[in-house]
Amino acid sequence: MRNPLSKKVVEIKPSGIRKFFDIVSEMKDAISLGVGEPDFDTPWHIREEGIYSLEKGKTFYTSNAGLKELKEEITKYLKRRCQLEYDPAQVLVTVGGSEAIDVGLRAMLDPGDEVLIPEPCYVSYLPCVTLADGVPVTIELKAENEFRLTKQELLDAITDKTKVLIMPFPNNPTGGIMERRDLEDIAEVIIEKDLFVISDEIYSELTYGQDHVSIASLPGMKERTIVINGFSKSYAMTGWRLGYACGPKEIIDQMVKIHQFAIMCAPTTSQYAAVEALRNGDDDVAAMREAYDQRRRYLVTRLNEIGMPCFEPKGAFYVFPCIKDFGMTSDEFATTLLKEQKVAVVPGTAFGDCGEGFLRISYAYSIENLKIALDRIEVFVKGLKK
Amino acid sequence: MKEKLLRAIDKNSKLSPADLSRMFGVTEEEIVTMIKELEDEKVICGYPTLINWEKVEQDERVTAIIEVKVTPQRGQGFDRIAERIYKFDEVADVYLISGNYDLVVILEGKSMREIANFVSDKLSPLEAVLSTSTNFVLKKYKEHGLPLVGEVKQDERMLVTP
């Protein structure tokens, strides 16, 4: 029999997180600080709207790019929260932010085009670039810069084949953000070198102490940027699978084409629920943000007390402490911690090689759970220091 | 900050000053002082525990919600009559309300008879009380923002996700 598989697909490395998931799953009564999704339930009024749409029999396809009402609400929301002005025709509603990343890359890349990916980062950018026949080029972000992308790092990575830069901020796994002045430096290079940006802003609502700035809101950047956002993190709607992309109409039109053939349309029930989220969900977002902020401070303070130094993350719901002093790899540390104290955290290497020496700890957990987990981590670390 | 602190302990009064200091990024002493002030100002009035008494077998208690129509008294409005009612130990809550009645009195008794006796012997005879309407609680679903019925919520998320 012939080999049924595509070489390109077979050569893609499986996600590093998968391996760790398998180990954790076999461990009974482990406490996990390993998830990348909110612990809150979707606010009831949003769920109720989804149920109501089902009761009314709204169970058909929507138009390919998404419900008209939803696209309108998205444009109003982006204006209100990110100072971004889009026409509803520049919006594509997708199956989660993940689909928007995939479709965006496929719409923009020709074989051999290079895509710059700052690491550590979310696990899907690299394989999505490969699947779109692009060439992923990683940029190692540094702890001393609080995992921001600097102008020099960007310049050093650019070649004549470079076409797209992925901007994953606020960042999973580091919790790092890019402030306006950081973005201005980047925008300057992007314009000068005639590049495009795919800006994954899925954590835009979860910044602490300052509002998120979208790179697309800087002068000259809107026509070069695809903004990706969604409902999973801000409204605790991960399972609804709903995100969106906004950008120049010529790019969005091509993205709609791929989306139309691959997906048809995003789930109708989720779209109705999302309309309610955007219309009446601001207070829910604020309340969740405040809860995350309290947990964030709790976690950072305790980790520093324990002797696991970490910079203060200003976004998302992760902290990224350094464990280099303990003489173990991230993988060894995480595995031993799991075996000895039954606490699951994710080795930084799951998010790129430069995550070596770090761990991702999620604070999408109640303070009570964080307390128990941190008590156990403290015992573990004390044992190591003896 | 005070409001945020209050919201945090409103949901969970077991948080220690050490935990709160880490959550809010201030010292433990500052938290202790702030809570003391709030207690002195009677902003924080107590630290009761939310108990689902229906699950306590030996405890056969009955709750009634009594709507009360009263005549307000000159110079004192409803406050005086409300006070005469809320001083009874059996009375759990008293609210002044808009609508067809003036006061809502929530009463906890050992039996329906005890509550009936309270209404007929203590409440109705009060001079300012014009009429009452007693509603017995059949089942409690939610109190203080927390559901009392339904299954214990489990964390259904996968243990590790990207």
Residue B157 near chain A (CB below 8 Å): yes
B26 and B101 co-located in one domain: no
Report the domain count for chain B. Answer: 2
- Taking only the tens of pLDDT, chain A with its 386 residues reads 999 999 999 999 888 788 788 888 888 889 999 999 999 999 999 999 999 999 999 999 999 999 999 999 999 999 999 999 999 999 999 999 999 999 999 999 999 999 999 999 999 999 999 999 999 999 999 999 999 999 999 999 999 999 999 999 999 999 999 999 999 999 999 999 999 999 999 999 999 999 999 999 999 999 999 999 999 999 999 999 999 999 999 999 999 999 999 999 999 999 999 999 999 999 999 999 999 999 999 999 999 999 999 989 999 999 999 999 999 999 999 999 999 999 999 999 999 999 999 999 999 999 999 999 999 999 999 999 87
**Structure tokens belonging to residue B9:** 């302990």
Whether residue A2 lies inside any domain: the answer is no
Instruction: Find the residue in B nearest to A370 (Cα).
Output: B19
Spell out which residues of chain A touch residue B157, defining contact as CB-CB under 8 Å. 35, 37, 39
B158 to A35: CB separation less than 8 angstroms, yes or no = yes
Instruction: Find the residue in B nearest to A239 (Cα).
Output: B157
Task: Tell me the pairing of strands B129-136 and A91-94.
Answer: unpaired
| Residue where a domain terminates, one of A217, A247, A280 | A280
B100 to chain A, closest Cα gap in Å: 30
The domain containing residue B65 runs over which residues?
Answer: 53-139
Burial A286-299 (b: 16+ CB within 10 A, else e): eebeebbbbbbbbb
- Helical ranges in B13-126 per DSSP H: 17-24, 28-40, 79-86, 112-117
Query: Cα(B122)–Cα(B116) distance, rounded to whole angstroms?
Result: 10
Whether residue B144 lies inside any domain: the answer is no
Interface with chain B: mutation pick from A294, A305, A330, highest number of B CBs within 10 Å: A294
DSSP letter for each residue of A224-293: GEEEEEESTTTTT-GGG--EEEE--HHHHHHHHHHHHHHTSS--HHHHHHHHHHHHH-HHHHHHHHHHHH
Whether residue B152 lies inside any domain: the answer is no
B103 and B31 co-located in one domain: no
B102 to chain A, closest Cα gap in Å: 31
Instruction: Find the residue in A nearest to B27 (Cα).
Output: A301
DSSP letter for each residue of A169-205: -SPTTT-----HHHHHHHHHHHHHTT-EEEEE-TTTT
ipTM for the predicted complex: 0.84
**What CATH number does residue B99 fall under?**
3.30.70.920
Spell out which residues of chain A touch residue B161, defining contact as CB-CB under 8 Å. 17, 21, 34-37
The domain containing residue A291 runs over which residues?
Answer: 7-42+283-385
Residue B28 near chain A (CB below 8 Å): no
B69 and B114 co-located in one domain: yes
Instruction: Find the residue in B nearest to A371 (Cα).
Output: B19
| Beta carbons within 10 angstroms of residue B47's beta carbon | 9
A21 to B8: CB separation less than 8 angstroms, yes or no = no
B161 to A34: CB separation less than 8 angstroms, yes or no = yes
B162 to A32: CB separation less than 8 angstroms, yes or no = no
Residue B117 · residue B70 · CB < 8 Å: no
Whether residue A149 lies inside any domain: the answer is yes
Whether residue B158 lies inside any domain: the answer is no
Report the domain count for chain A. Answer: 2
B28 and B62 co-located in one domain: no
A273 and A155 co-located in one domain: yes
| Phi (first) and psi of residue A117, to 5 degrees | -125, 110
B86 and B61 co-located in one domain: yes
Which residue reads 């709750």 in tokens? B63
